[in-house]
Each structure stands twice: as C-alpha cells, then as structure tokens.
Amino acid sequence: MTLSKSEIILVDSTISIDDVNYNLNHEIIALDYLSHIQLSNKKIDHKISDDFVTIEELQKLESQIHHFVNWHALPEFSTIILEDGINLGELFYIEFYDILTSFLKKFLEISSFLTIYPNNTFLVSEYVYEIISRYTKNVKVIKTKTKNESIYSYIEIPVKIGPKIFTLKLNSEHASMIQTILDKCIKIFLLNKKIKTDDKSILLVNFTTLKNENFLLTSSKFHLNLIKYDRGIPSIWNKKTFNIIKNSNCIMENESNLLNKETMTRIKLNQQIFETKLDSILSYENVLAKHFSINTTSFWNALKPFFIQLYKRGFFEAAKEIELAKQLFQKYYFSKVLILNEAETIEQIILHFAKKQQIPVFQLQHGLYYDSPQMISKNTFQRLIPKNSDFFISYGDSFKNYLIHNGIKSNRVKSMGSIFFDNIFDNKISEFFSSDYVLLAADPYAFNRSLDLTINQQNQYHNTIAKICQVISNQKKHLIIKTHPQKHAMEDVIAKQIDPKIQVFHSGDIQPLIKSSSLVIVTDMSTVILEAQAMKKPVISIPIKDHFGKPEVFNFCPQIKSNELESWIKSFYKNPDVKNNLIEKGNQFLKLYLANPGSASSTILSFLENDV
C-alpha cells in the first residue's frame, strides 16, 4: 500500500474531521467505524486501518490478551498487590481486558503504519498520541473538546414521560451523587425494617430491583431476611421500585448506612496506601515491559498512561469498597450470599469476605450463555463457568451438564430455574403497544474481541441492521429496535434513514416490547431468544459473527442469513405453519433448558429457607 503524501491524518472517534485543517496534501486513515462513516458522509477520500493488519494477526492477538490481563499474578507483585488477601489488580481485570482489546488493535495498526511509512508525519488525537509518540517524533496532536468515554464511565437510565421513554445519560460521578441522595432517602423511609433474629439472613449483591421484582416480592412469604446491597444501580429510583422494596423482605444496605467518621478515616488512609502500592508496582519497569510485549517488542511505554489511569482510579475506589464490605460482614451474620457474576469488582470483594467467614456463595445464572466449545475459554475467563463460588444455580439441566463437562463437580450445581422469567410464566408482563410489531434486539458489541472492533465487522453489523429495517418496511410492518443497554451504535440513525416511523430504544425493560411483538429478531446470540420463547413468540437470529461456534439454542432457533431474510419474512407472514413451528421449537427448548417455569423464585427461596 502506497501513501505518497508526507502528512497522514489518523482519525478516530475521539476527534472530528472538523477539528482538522486538512487539504489535498493530506492522506487520511480512519481508525474506527464511526470515523469511517463521518468521513464517508462528508465524501472525504480515506483509507481504513483494517487494511494494515491481517485477520490472522488479530486472531493471534486475541489469544494473547488473557495473558496480558493477568499481569497481577506475576510473582514480583505477590506481596505488594495484596490487601487483606484481596488482589487489587485482579479486581479490574474485565475493564482492563476491554481497554487492552481496543488498545492492542490500535497498537498493531500503528506499528504497521510506522513500519511502512517511517518518514511520514502523523496528525493524531490525544488518545492516539499516547501510543504513537512512544515510537516516533514525527507526530502532531489535533486538539479537540471530545472526551474518550468507556462504557464504565457512565450509565443510562430510562425516564418515562407520558407514553414516551427517554434515555438519561449520567457520568459515573453524577450517578454516584444521585445514588448517595437516594440512599439517604431510603434510610429515612425504610428504617422501620428490622432483622428477624430467628430467620436466616441472605445477602443479595447487585440484584436490580425491577428485574428481580418477582423474587423480591415473593420473599415476603418466607422466613428470610434479604439484605439487599446495590453498588451499581440505586435500589430505589421511582415509586414502583420503592413499593417493591417496601412490600418485600428486603433490608437495604448502602454507603449511607455503613459509613461513619471512623470508616471514612480508614478509607482515606487506605487510599493513600493503595496509591503507594501502585507506585511500587510501576517501579518494576523491566518486569512490566517484559510482560507487555509481542514478539519481544514491548508496548508497555504506550500502554502505561492508560494503565495508570485505570488503576489509579480503580485502587482509589477499591479502598472504599473493601471497607464498606468489611462493615457489611461485621454488621450481619449471613447464612448465604447470592451473586449474579464473579468477575465484577464488588462481587470479587464480597466473595473474598464470604469465604473468609466460610459463608457459602451461590452464583445464579443470569442469561442464556453461549455454550459452544469455541467459547469455553471466554466463558472461563469471564467466570460464567464459576471459579470461586461454592455453588451455581443454573436455569436447568442443560447448562448444568455444560458446567459438569467443563470441570465443575455435579454437587456444586443446582438446577432451579430463572427468577427473571417468573413474571413471564405468571403472565404479569403488560404489552407496551396495543398492536403487533416486529422487534429487533440488537447488540453490536456482543463479544468485544479484536475482530469485532474492525471497521469491516462493524460495517457488516450496520448493513445487517439496515437490511432488517428495509425488509420489515417493505412488508409494511412496524419495527421496534431495542439495543443492549449502553452498547448501541448508530441504530437510530440507520433506522430513520430507511423509515422515520421505526422506534429505537436504548434503555428500559425489553419484556413488554417482546409481549407486543408478532415476531422477534435478534442479532447473533441473546437471552431475548429465551424470553421470546417463554412468551410463545416466534424468534429468529440473524448471524453476523460466525467465529464462535454453534450453541445449543440454535438447534431450536433458526439462524437466517441477512440475504435470505426477505424471502423468509414473506413466507412467515404467508404461511402460519412457519410461525407455529417456531413456537413449537421454542417450547421444546424451554423444556430442555428451563427448570421450574413460573416458580423458580419460590423454589430458590424455599431452598434458602430450609437448607442447612
């Protein structure tokens, strides 16, 4: 590939081409899909970064990332990194994985640029400058006001005004402030709830109030104290969530209840100690440089600013979360602890203190997992295959057998069903619309591997969304698009270009939308498949990524290629047998995959009440 011009502009999503004084003497390369679209819409000639790396290079990179993420297990840090037995570096391994995936893709591309064009000058964003400036002096920064945000830096909250739902986007700082205010209100209105000393106390960690409504309300029929500890999303944020908590056996625990002057002093002291720990870790330059290297070429110097940014913030937050967890376990004697995943920071901390006190921890399956052989490594890394939990409560025997096949002892897995599906089987889901719609459940970043971040892969996703919009519009059907929370990518823009009547939701509960639909379409793999089948709705999948094997559910849910969708849709609406066969297939999978339909909450609560 030849670039004849002396200055090369590398455009990524943290800058706008409007920030650049470009002319015909500049060569332009788009580093991500949003930049590619922006440049294309302005009819600016450019190349894409995908063309500078091979698929084989990206696949090899993927196999190395797990090794890089485990830097915290290096023997040189075995003493420094521990706090009361907690590995501080491990607490943020999932977030670090996401950062590394994006970083290393750009690192490979930039390395290729520098090899091919060693004498060119590069104009780049501040983000890219942190990488490229470590390897060349021929670089200039493009100043911009745009901030580079990760999905960990904000949350999206659905706000309903009349019949319409809007999405309120809050950064982490504002969300934390709001949560503190709500916590204090909870303390005022719900302090009348007391521990029943004769009943067992169960700790629920980050059990979202609305999603777990049936489980929480059903708890009032059992002799249990449910201690609800939410650190991500407020337990109460509207009248409905307030009433759920009020009418359940839940006792709310939060920062406002657990903090006092003494704990605040310890937190501030630990924040200083943890900062010193990070400084000590960073002093091992040679160790880190060796660990973070590809083919003997170290990328540590380029990664270092992002590493420091993540772990400086992370260690600061960990000081508070560890102290809060200590207070929580000192305040109560828990019979059991229930979590939904092992990988997140709070859950890792809770797991540690539970094990320290020999309290059994139960991890609940919280979705339809990708159970193909090709995903075993990923499922192990994300701890969907549990690592530290004492027991696992699966949806049914199907996933139980998958866990047993992958090394989990059978006596550690209990098939009890899904507490999230009880509302469906109890027919408590209200329709969102009065007429039939086609629902598209879309997720552009379902797997977040290096291959999935390529412009070509993202282009395929957007072309698929456009194709679905066009096909449904051609059939004179109404389409609703529901994206995965905090993981959307221009679906509303694509939809409006094809049909302004298409509605796109980025937040809120998807179950009422499924209930209103005559057909449900998902991209790749989603728990929505199981939800639709439980509601007796026909559901199909449109495959976009084909490098993850075939999970069991696709024996019961057809995968329709986008170029075959139009003919399939015509057949679906013309021939009732197509719909009936889909529903029957769904019924077969439900029997195979889901135990105790409609009574999972009661089954699990009864077990918690009676188990010794």
Asked if pLDDT for residue 150 goes beyond 80, the answer is no
- DSSP code of 274? H
Q: What per-residue string of b and e applies to 575-599 under the rule 16 or more CB within 10 Å gives b?
A: eeeeeeebbebbeebbeebbbbbbb
Is 553 in contact with 535 (CB distance < 8 Å)? Answer: no
pLDDT at position 164, please? Answer: 52
DSSP 32: S
Contact yes or no for 604/212 (Cβ under 8 A):
no
Segment 288-333, tens digit of pLDDT? 999 999 988 899 999 999 999 999 999 999 999 999 999 999 999 9
Mean pLDDT of 46-68: 92
For 438-465, what is the mean pLDDT?
Answer: 86
Residue 152: pLDDT band with limits 50, 70, 90 = very low
pLDDT at 336 over 60: yes
Instruction: Give the per-residue pLDDT at 88.
Output: 98
pLDDT score recorded for residue 178: 66
Look at residue 395 in the predicted model and tell me its pLDDT.
98
Provide the pLDDT for residue 313. Answer: 97
Closest CA to 32 of 366, 422, 453, 392: 453
CA dihedral defined by 307, 308, 313, 319, rounded to 10 degrees?
A: 100
pTM: 0.90
Three-state SS for 298-352 is ECHHHHHHHHHHHHHHHHHHHHHHHHHHHHHHHHCCCCEEEECCCCCHHHHHHHH
Question: What's the confidence (pLDDT) of residue 486?
Answer: 67
Query: pLDDT tier at 461 (50, 70, 90 boundaries)?
Result: very high
Most confident of the ranges 74-78, 174-178, 548-552? 74-78
Q: Does residue 355 register a pLDDT over 90?
A: yes
In terms of pLDDT, which residue wins out, 180 or 424? 424
pLDDT confidence tier of residue 464, bands split at 50, 70 and 90: very high
Q: Name the one residue in this structure whose structure tokens are 């907690």.
A: 86
Q: Which residues contact 233 (CB under 8 A, 6 or more apart)?
A: 155, 206, 208
Measured CA to CA, the distance from residue 563 to residue 186 in angstroms comes to 53
SS (HEC) of 389-435: CCEEEECCHHHHHHHHHCCCCHHHEEECCCCCCHHHHCCCCCCCCCC
Q: What angle do CA 201, 594, 511 make, to 5 degrees?
A: 85
Inform me whether the pLDDT recorded for 161 exceeds 80: no
Q: Which pLDDT does position 409 carry in this prediction?
A: 97
* Mean pLDDT, range 225-250, rounded to an integer: 90
Mean pLDDT of 389-411: 97
Question: For residues 174 and 490, which has the higher predicted lDDT (pLDDT)?
Answer: 490
For the record, the structure tokens of 83 come out as: 């706090």
Which amino acid makes up residue 210? L
The pLDDT > 70 percentage for the chain reads 89
Mean pLDDT, all residues of the chain: 90
For residue 283, what pLDDT is reported?
98
DSSP symbols for 136-171: -S-EEEPP-S-----TTSEEEEEEEETTEEEEEEEE
pLDDT in tens, 565-579: 999 999 999 999 999
Average pLDDT over residues 10-21: 84
Q: Let me know how long the chain is.
A: 612
What pLDDT sits at residue 163?
47
**CA–CA separation, 370 vs 296, rounded Å?**
34
Task: Note the pLDDT tens digit of each residue in 474-488.
Answer: 999 999 999 987 667
